[in-house]
Amino acid sequence: MAGKVREWVIDRFGLQPIYDKVLNRRVPRAHWYSGDGSTLLALLGIQVVTGAVLALTYSPAADSAYQSVVYLTEQQTLGWFIRGLHYWSAGAMMVVVTFHLLRQILLAGYKSPREGTWLTGVVLFLCILLMAYTGYLLRWDERAIHGIRVMLHMLVRVPLIGESLVMLVQGGPDIGPATLTRLYGFHVLVVPLTMFLMVAFHVYLVVVRGTITQAERTQLVHSAEEQKQLYDEEKESPERGETFFPVTVFKSGLTATLVIGVVIALTVILGPSKLFAEANLTEASIPSEEWWFWWLSGMIALLPPAVAPWFVVIFPLAVFGFLFLLPLLDRGPARGVRNRPLWAALVVIVVIILLGLTDYRRRSTFTGWPESEPPPVPVGMTLPPDAERGRILFAQYGCNSCHPVAGHGRKFAVDFASLQGQMSRDKIREYILQPPAGVKMPSYQGRLDDDQLTALVEFCHVVQTFPLQP
């Protein structure tokens, strides 16, 4: 009976050809790390399911969006878990898609006959970036509103049509309710529909054209025909080939399970991303992008003023221009790591730069900010009365908005504790009144009376004897 039902289902739903052509096919042996594509597919599945649940509660109207996210997180049964999963799975996608992309560059996965797979992949990469960015904005907290403005300010830099682009994205002459509705439509309809089509195409091409194999990585391949011959020999070989289902699927499933395990652990331990105050254009705020864009922010912070305005337009165009043209730019017969040391070096350099910039942004030593608290005096030390008054003035006159004191406070400017007594009182006084040209410090000429100046100089002088903390 059960057998008959099974046969009926297989026949009437046309499952046999799928089994024969997709599951029960021979493929070249896969490595554990080639499960990154399947992992992305699984993470996308999580995004679709959790996203659908979020959309059932989320209010895409600017007056109530924030409250609906608060409700989701605090009131709805397991709402925090769904939001957390959506967030961490998005972060995991950003990491895994970067790995996936760099791996293809490392091994030359874009070479013939896989140009189509590569190009649909680049479109998907762009879609994932857009999703990761617009999802952050839908929370409609103050970070979201400043995040939108940063994007708009990048768009306004586009020559000739800049202002039109800004109005197009924000939905009118001012940032307002239309802005959120447009971003919502973009995040839940426009980009996901594009992704759906592209994923289907991408996966189809992976089935038809396969992924880069061991043989291709070791010997030179001059044409698509040569590759196809090599591929067919490899997949049919008992040692170098395997059956897609269950062998390959099991290996990639293992990678996906591992990553999803990390996603669930992060969700349970850290929960969904923090919500800040509701979107507003009035309160002081220290916005920050999500951690997966820290590298970009760190890079922008390093830009000299002459470069900064056009960089934000040129850089994304250059990156995607490079990615789209890569199959045309690099058409040599060599594939794999060993035959292409320059490409391997390029990928290693990119990874080092990404990690370095991420850390640079994490420390954000380039940001000054008002601090009302006077810097602390090291334990066991008492300051002379003049210096003590100077310590209060140090905060009152915003010196500590930039200068750390023995490692405390903002790290933008020089920490006097690190000078170890090299700066005389006269020199300090001179600096305060008229900083040398090129020093990024305002002049205090005319702002302090003699008494105050003396006190401040005393404090800056005595700080040089403070123990420098690591």
Partner 1 sequence: MIDRRKWLAVLIQGGSAVMAAVVGIPALLSAISPGWRSRPGGQWRTTGRLADFPLGTVQPAVVKVGRGDWAQTLESKTVYVYRLTDDQVVVYSRNCTDLSCPLVFDAGSECFFCPCHGGIFGKDGKPMAGPPSKPLYRYVTRIRDGELEIDLHSLPPMT
Which residues of the shown chain bind partner 1 in the complex (CB under 8 A)? 61-63, 145-146, 149-150, 152-156, 161, 163-168, 170-178, 180, 279-288, 297, 300-301, 303-306, 308-309, 312, 366-370, 395-399, 401-402, 412, 440-442, 447
- Least distance CB 341 / partner 1 (angstroms): 35
Residue type, 49: V
Q: Is 290 left (phi over 0), alpha (psi -120 to 50) or beta?
A: beta
Closest to partner 1 by CB, 86 vs 410, is 410
Least spacing, CB of residue 150 vs partner 1, in Å: 5
Q: Where are the beta strands (DSSP E) in 13-75?
A: 26-28
Instruction: Give the C-alpha separation, 136 to 141, whole Å.
Output: 9
- Measured distance CA(233)–CA(151) in Å, rounded: 50
Token reading at 254: 């293992």
Nearer to partner 1, 347 or 455 (CB): 455
The residue among 80 and 397 lying less far from partner 1, judged by its C-beta, is 397
User: Least Å distance between CB 401 and partner 1?
Assistant: 5
Q: Which is nearer to partner 1, 24 or 280 (CB)?
A: 280
Name the β-bridge partners of 408: 405
Looking at the Cβ atoms of 249 and 354, the one nearer to partner 1 is: 354
Nearest distance, CB of residue 297 and partner 1, angstroms: 7
Cα(171)–Cα(70) distance, integer angstroms: 25
Judged by beta carbon, residue 229 or residue 396, the one nearer partner 1 is: 396
Q: What residue type is assigned to position 247 of the chain?
A: V
Six-digit token pair at 147?
């995040």
The two structure tokens encoding residue 432: 């305060």
Tokens coding 400: 């500590």
- Cβ at position 454, least distance to partner 1 in Å: 18
CB of residue 390 to partner 1, shortest distance in Å: 14
User: Phi, psi (5° rounding) for residue 158?
Assistant: -65, 125
- Which residue in 263, 257, 289, 259 sits closest to 83, CA to CA? 263
